[in-house]
């Protein structure tokens, strides 16, 4: 089994993971994460759950300021992603990535609607935050990857303007980006003209309607929940960081679902299925399917720490219990081990699917609320994170999921514990 995995399965997975596009995507999106979390904090303050305090913030004029900060951080996630993906793609190729990030930004803005008619009937140039946020995420990914690839091709083939030695690096870099930048912008202009004249829309709107909406629909389904719940521990079983891999690919769509939910609330509508609300969001993944780490291993850690009979299991539990409350479980995955352990693979892959299924049904039936635009850092301890993103009902659901994990892991870790105890007794004798 190990020979098959090491020689056949893992190499093929690593080829996919290490492709330039996947590396640029998952690394480039990280640039938008800090602003999304900061924006979520201000959104939480602007919609503080204690009504008297929230009303006081509005009465003294603080709420509009909080909303402005949210709009200028969380709601430009796609704009930041378009820069970060192109920048990372080119940087990974060994070149200065900032010019590519700037070209990608210009292309991203070129593809959007750019005018609105004011009350006097005059056209006014604008940047719509609708398209710099969740609705523009897939367009940002496509533009960032394509611009990064084109820019790299030009540099590799030396199709650039070269300045003499002694010219400052900043000046030389700007001329290096001139030819690839001109080619990209001209091509983007042609695409914009064709889409505008033939389909009476913009490329960004076309991408959203024909590509992003169907993809979001796939993620926001029970099948999508099962797929995510299985794939993350599946990759981890082979020693591959499944949370980063699956999260890097699915994250943009889940974040777009989160932003779409907040947009429904911002429009004055109730957040529910009838109004187009999404069940599966970034919070769905972070706070329920990878809470306490991939595989939701808190139940395993509790057993190892307080109930294990073998010295090895108890030691692993002591090392893993602290990080587990901050959703880090590598000590347990490699110390028990769970990785490449066929016995522990069963609960490891079952538990996230169970958690996702329970959470999906709880939201679908209205037992728990849909998630707004509030995001918390993935290291936020469970129960606290549940309360912040969904109130007491979501926190209570987290408690139930964490308790369930103990009983799911129990029969399997007992087998491992008895094996280690027997080995230790034989060694002692």
List, for residues 3-53, the tens digit of each pLDDT value: 666 666 667 666 766 778 878 887 888 888 888 888 888 888 887 777 788
The full DSSP string for 340-355 is T-HHHHHHHHHHHHHH
How much is the average pLDDT of 307-332? 90
As beta bridge partners, residue 116 has 124
pLDDT at residue 153, rounded to an integer? 93
Least confident of 152-166, 278-292, 297-311, 393-407: 152-166
Task: Judge whether residue 367 has pLDDT over 90.
Answer: yes
Q: What is the pLDDT of residue 392?
A: 92
Euclidean distance between the first and the last CA atom of the chain, given in angstroms as a whole number: 32
Beta bridge mates, 123: 117
The share of the chain scoring above pLDDT 70, in percent, equals 95
As a whole number, the mean pLDDT across the chain is 87
pTM of the entire structure? 0.76
pLDDT (0 to 100) of residue 340: 80
Q: What is the rounded (10 degree) CA torsion for 97, 102, 106, 107?
A: 0
| CB proximity list for 114: less than 8 A, separation 6 or greater | 125, 126, 127
Q: How far is CA 174 from the centre of its chain?
A: 33
Query: What mean pLDDT is predicted for residues 348-373?
Result: 94
pLDDT for 195: 93
pLDDT reported for residue 5: 60
- What is the reported pLDDT for 202? 92
The whole-number pLDDT of residue 250 equals: 81
DSSP 220: S
Task: Please give the helix or strand (H or E) that residue 280 lies within, else none.
Answer: none
The pLDDT value given to residue 13: 65
Examine the pLDDT at 272 and tell me if it is beyond 70.
Answer: yes
- pLDDT > 90 in the chain, percent: 42
Residue 249: per-residue pLDDT:
74
Q: How large is the average pLDDT for residues 118-133?
A: 82
Helices and strands counted in the chain (H then E): 23, 2
The number of residues in the chain equals 429
Q: What angle is formed at CA 101 by the lines to CA 98 and CA 102, rounded to 5 degrees?
A: 90
- Better pLDDT: 385 or 49: 385
In this predicted structure, the answer to whether residue 409 has a pLDDT above a threshold of 70 is yes
Cα separation of 49 and 389, whole Å? Answer: 11
- Ranking 169-173, 189-193, 278-282, 313-317 by mean pLDDT, the lowest is 169-173
pLDDT of residue 38: 86
Residue found by looking up tokens 């969001």 in the block: 281
Query: What angle, 0 to 180 degrees and rounded to 10, lies between the N-to-C axes of helices 20-28 and 137-156?
Result: 130
Contact criterion met (CB below 8 Å) for 140 and 108: yes
Chain segment 77-89, per-residue pLDDT in tens: 889 999 999 999 9
pLDDT interval class at 120 (50, 70, 90) = confident
**pLDDT over threshold 90, residue 244:** no
The pLDDT value recorded for residue 256 is 87
Supply 396's token pair: 């209570």
Q: Which tokens belong to 206?
A: 């076309």
Does 242 have pLDDT greater than 80? no
By mean pLDDT, which of 16-20, 122-126, 270-274, 314-318 is the weakest?
16-20
58: confidence class by pLDDT, cuts 50, 70, 90: confident
Beta bridge pairs of residue 124: 116
Provide the pLDDT for residue 166: 65
Please check the confidence at residue 159 and state whether its pLDDT lies above 90: no
pLDDT at 211: 86
- Gap between the Cα atoms of 57 and 362, Å rounded: 32
CA distance 415 to 422: 11
Task: Return the pLDDT at 357.
Answer: 95
State the helix-helix crossing angle for 311-324 and 392-428, rounded to 10 degrees.
Answer: 160
- Residue 379: CB atoms within 10 A of its CB come to 12
- Give Cα separations from 261 to 97, 112, 127, 374, 399 (angstroms): 33, 21, 21, 10, 25
Among 181-195, 201-215, 406-420, the minimum mean pLDDT is found in: 201-215
């Amino acid at each position: 089994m190990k020979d098959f995995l090491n020689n056949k399965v893992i190499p093929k997975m690593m080829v996919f993971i290490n492709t330039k596009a996947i590396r640029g995507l998952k690394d480039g999106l990280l640039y938008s994460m800090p602003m999304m979390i900061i924006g979520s904090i201000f959104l939480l303050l602007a919609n503080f759950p204690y009504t008297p305090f929230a009303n006081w913030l509005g009465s003294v004029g603080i709420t509009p300021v909080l909303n402005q900060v949210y709009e200028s951080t969380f709601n430009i996630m796609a704009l930041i992603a378009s820069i970060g993906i192109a920048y990372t793609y080119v940087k990974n190729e060994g070149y200065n990535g900032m010019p590519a990030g700037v070209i990608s930004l210009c292309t991203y803005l070129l593809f959007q609607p750019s005018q609105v008619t004011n009350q006097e009937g005059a056209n006014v140039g604008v940047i719509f935050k609708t398209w710099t946020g969740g609705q523009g995420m897939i367009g940002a990914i496509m533009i960032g990857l394509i611009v990064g690839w084109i820019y790299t091709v030009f540099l590799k083939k030396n199709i650039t303007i070269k300045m003499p030695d002694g010219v400052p690096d900043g000046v030389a870099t700007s001329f290096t980006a001139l030819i690839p930048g001109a080619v990209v912008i001209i091509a983007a202009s042609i695409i914009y003209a064709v889409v505008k004249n033939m389909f009476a829309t913009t490329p960004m709107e076309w991408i959203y309607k024909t590509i992003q909406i169907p993809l979001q629909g796939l993620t926001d389904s029970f099948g999508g929940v099962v797929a995510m719940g299985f794939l993350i521990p599946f990759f981890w079983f082979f020693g591959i960081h499944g949370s980063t891999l699956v999260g890097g690919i699915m994250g943009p769509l889940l974040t777009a679902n989160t932003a779409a939910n907040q947009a429904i609330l911002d429009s004055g509508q109730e957040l529910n299925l009838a109004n187009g609300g999404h069940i599966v969001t970034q919070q769905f993944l972070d706070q329920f399917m990878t809470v306490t780490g991939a595989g939701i291993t808190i139940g395993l850690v509790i057993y190892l720490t307080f109930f294990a009979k073998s010295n090895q299991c108890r030691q692993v539990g002591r090392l893993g219990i602290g990080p587990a409350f901050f959703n880090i479980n590598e000590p347990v995955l490699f110390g028990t081990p769970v990785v490449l352990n066929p016995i522990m693979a069963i609960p490891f892959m079952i538990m996230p699917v169970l958690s996702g299924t329970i959470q999906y049904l709880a939201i679908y039936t209205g037992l728990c609320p849909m998630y707004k635009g509030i995001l918390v850092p993935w290291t936020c301890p469970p129960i606290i994170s549940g309360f912040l993103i969904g109130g007491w009902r979501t926190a209570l659901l987290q408690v139930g999921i964490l308790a369930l994990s103990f009983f799911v892991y129990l029969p399997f870790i007992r087998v491992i514990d008895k094996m280690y105890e027997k080995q230790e007794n034989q060694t002692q004798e």
